[in-house]
Amino acid sequence: MLKYREKIKTLMTLIFFLSAWGGLVSSGAAVEWPREIEAGQTRIIIYQPQPESLSENVLRGRAAILLEDDAAAEEMFGAIWFTARLEVDYEERLAVLRDLSLEELRLPGLDEEKFKHFNALLLEEVPGWELPLSLDQLLATLESQAVHGRMAEKIKHDPPRIIFMAEPAILVSIDGEPRLVSEDDGALLRVINTPFTILLLPEEKQYYLYADRDTWYRAAALEGEWRLATSVPARVAARAPALEPDDLYDPNDDFQPGPPPKIVVATEATELISSLGRPEFSPVQGTSLLYLSNSDSDVLLSLENRLYYVLLAGRWFAGAQLENGVWRHVPGDELPAAFAAIPEDSEVATVLYAVPGTEAAREAALAAQIPETARIDREKAELVVEYDGEPCFETIAGTRMMYAVNTATPVIYAERSYFACDDAVWFVAAKATGPWRVAASIPAEIYSIPPDNPLYNVTFVRIYGVTPEEVCFGYTFGYNHTYLCYDTVVYGTGYAYSGWYSNWYYPRPQTWGYHVRYGSWSGWSFGFSYGRGPYPFSFGRGWYRGSWWGPAHYRGYHDGYRHGYRRGYDMAYHYGRLNRGWINFYHSRKNMPRWRTQTDAAPRTFRIPSPRRGERNDVFVDRLGRVHRKRDNGWETRTGSGWQPLVEPRKKPEVERRPPVKDRLGKDRGRSEPEGSGISRERGGAVRTSAPSSRVISRQNPPPTREDKSGAGAPPSSARKSSETLERSYQTRERGNLRQRNFERSRNPVVPVRKGYR
């Protein structure tokens, strides 16, 4: 009963916490556009914002607006440019823009007096707005350039040992050579350097592997042949891990009967690919690719070069054969062109996040750079760091810093102080044992920790603002071990870190051995190899301390098995939502008491414009400040005479173009070479907490940097370019809205989402 009281208490705390957060978690209706707000006798209609850039948690963008004034005879269309503080909730796929700052206003056609009136009105109104967006709307429409991840060149892509088996199989990973500790006065030994429950009964010289509450495997040697145990000694059965509610299987799932899976034990970096019988390949429509359809692994066969391509932890590996193959890493930009042509509604569209140049890859890369933030109370937040004995520190290679190796909490010694990062909150202390207080600044050197150190992921936790009462923290997906490598995301650094072994076992982040796959809605999902089989193989804590995956909170394979298997390629993505990587660390049990809620601070009033029912979400503003709308018969531009068609120029006849002449070095003459495919960003510790409050630049006339040409009267080349740009904007908006609706439907178990890009 006490257990359930604690759960109810935690649930009530979470409900209060979320409600106090400011309404970011809301229904899908909260992201409808356009939206309307009244200001005196003026109604301000805001069309869906068009994000331009994101720096830390500050979003810059523009939006078309419509002013309806009781004293005016005509509608007044215009454009605003703004900056805002961005907050996101990946679990709910929602975002909100707060602390808006009006940077520029365009209201063409108004006289000076009217312009000044509406300029003053908007200067007063805009900072008080709170604009909700769906995360899918934001990712689809954010105008971006390719950005290389920090230290991307130091992320490793060496292939692990890849095993293929033409039968259902489970990979049991052990962190190096097995280490045994005594239980039950030596009558039982446990393998501690694995998240699985593996016990050795010395008197029988038999190992036992937990499968579910009624089922164990047994073997005479760890890497020997495992069979289902017909009987289990009582002392072994008593060590079964406790099951949580999310360890149970979904009774509505479709399964096919089958034998128990084979057990494959690995003590080195290994990935397992298994299929239901002989490999079966099916065509990917519209491409020269085939995919392994009777497996849940991402395996493609190119008919152009007859190579197999396997996607593991966001990395592509190619080989000439599946069984006993020799694999090499293939950078995304060296993939066959057919990969980029995979349709978004195909069974294998889930791999597109790892194909540079695709919308899925672009959105995944953007998502990896958008921080989750929280305001932490400087008085209430507490931390206790447990060490295995006296604190033990080692040098961080290439730096003047040291880090603690005998604790599950990342602790760093820098600039004569100790800094600890716990659930994406930084603490500081004068001693390694505390007492700890919330850190108000972080030494810049901490952000130079390289990927070959197991604490590399804490460099993605930053301070976004400080007041006497609170500190605003935020983290990007690097803290979840999701790293941006040029134009795509990968999981893990690729390094094999050594865990701590003594009285306790502290594991380090691992890249290989857990069948890591990515879904845009679910994040990274984890498994053993063959999707879902007969047994849960739940991870017990055993003798290790903290979560097996450290800060990623991955405690094991949550979703249940039962006798049989789900057949088909998309089976793994069915359970990805349960083992998902979109964990918000600021929602953890430890962080909830640390939050500074709205009840702790002076109340702030935000006005949320309400949806304007019946209005089409088809009005856009281009970068020059011109307002356009999409009609059934084409594009129209707002001019002094109202809406005018955007005239498309007639296409010029095709002319023969000769290839450019190349010099002896192979470079094209007459054109400059690009200096790089992206922008490298190095960032310090503390950044501003909200949008800048600089003096607003508001003009009736366009600024010198913007040409004032209407689309209707533009030269043919300009009109064509405007039309193409607008069409791209329209398609990305439609894409974001469609993905938002699909996400809402996917949360309803009655409507399965079984294939295509998510």
pLDDT tens digits along 231-268: 999 999 998 887 655 545 544 444 555 678 899 999 99
Q: Which of 151-165, 476-490, 632-646, 647-661 has the weakest average pLDDT?
A: 647-661
Most confidently modeled range among 84-88, 385-389, 584-588, 623-627: 385-389
Structural domain includes residue 555: no
Measure the CA–CA gap between 346 and 329, rounded to whole angstroms: 25
Whole-number Cα distances in Å, 654 to 423, 549, 651, 657: 60, 58, 9, 9
Q: Does 123 reside within a domain?
A: yes
SS (H, E, C) 630-654: EECCEEEEEECCEEEECCCCCCCCC
CA dist., res. 513 & res. 551, Å (int)? 18
Highest-confidence segment of 140-149, 665-674, 743-752: 140-149
Residue 42 lies in a domain: yes
Q: Which residue has the higher pLDDT, 575 or 590?
A: 590
Q: How large a percentage of the chain has pLDDT more than 90?
A: 46
Asked if residue 66 belongs to a domain, the reply is: yes
Annotate 56-86 with b (16+ C-beta within 10 A) or e (fewer): bbbbbbbbbbbbebeeeeeebbbbbbbbbbb
Residue 382 falls inside a structural domain:
yes
* Widest CA span in the chain: 95
**pLDDT tens digits for range 376-408:** 999 999 999 999 999 999 999 999 999 999 999
**Mean pLDDT across the stretch 578-602?**
56
Positive or negative torsion for Cα 710, 712, 713, 714: positive
In sequence order, the β-bridge partners of residue 425 are: 422
For residues 383 and 22, which has the higher predicted lDDT (pLDDT)?
A: 383
Tell me the pLDDT tens digit for each residue of 505-516. Answer: 898 999 999 888
Q: Where are the alpha helices (DSSP H) in 150-257?
A: 234-237
Distance CA 493, CA 313 (A): 10
Indicate yes or no: pTM above 0.85: no
Exposed, middle or buried by CB within 10 Å (0-12, 13-18, 19+), for 261?
Answer: buried
Distance CA 550, CA 561 (A): 25
List pLDDT tens digits, range 119-129.
Answer: 999 999 899 88
In sequence order, what are the residues at sequence separation of 6 or more whose Cβ sits closer than 8 angstroms to the Cβ of residue 159?
317, 327, 328, 329
Among candidate residues 475, 508, 526, the one where a domain is terminated: 475
Report, as an integer, the average pLDDT of 416-425. Answer: 96
What lies within 8 Å, CB to CB, of 668 at 6+ separation is 660, 661, 662
Supply the pLDDT for residue 667. Answer: 35
Separation CA 231–CA 366 (nearest Å): 52
Average pLDDT value for the chain? 77
- Residue 173's pLDDT band, with cuts at 50, 70 and 90, is very high
3-state secondary structure 346-406: CCCHHHHHHCCCCHHHHHHHHHCCCCEEEEEECCCCCCCCCCCCCCCEEECCCCCCEEECC
Give the Cα separation of 568 and 640 in Å (integer).
59
CA–CA separation, 147 vs 744, rounded Å? Answer: 30
For the four alpha carbons of 182, 183, 188 and 193, in that order, the dihedral sign comes to: negative
Q: Show Cβ contacts of residue 124 under 8 Å, excluding neighbours closer than 6 positions.
A: 39
* Count of Cβ atoms closer than 10 Å to residue 161 Cβ: 13
H or E segment and range at residue 745? helix 716-746
Q: Rounded to whole angstroms, how far apart are CA atoms 15 and 21?
A: 10
* H or E, element range at 96: strand 94-106
Q: Which of 475, 508, 542 is the last residue of a domain?
A: 475
Q: Is residue 500 part of a domain?
A: no
Sign of the CA dihedral with 667 first, then 669, 671, and 672 last: positive
Q: Which has more confidence, 148 or 133?
A: 133
Total domains present in the chain: 2
The residue range of the domain holding 457 is 372-475
pLDDT of 627 > 80? The answer is yes
Strand partners, 84: 59
pLDDT, one tens digit per residue, over 675-693 is 333 323 333 333 333 333 3
Domain boundary among 475, 496, 515: 475
| Residue 148 domain flag | no
663 is a domain residue: no
Q: Is the pLDDT of residue 542 over 80?
A: no
Give the pLDDT mean for 577-594. Answer: 57
Each residue's pLDDT tens digit, 329-363: 999 999 999 999 999 989 999 999 999 999 999 98
Q: What is the dihedral of CA 98, 104, 110, 113, to 10 degrees?
A: 90
Amino acid at 277: G
Write down the residue that tokens 């200001």 correspond to: 39
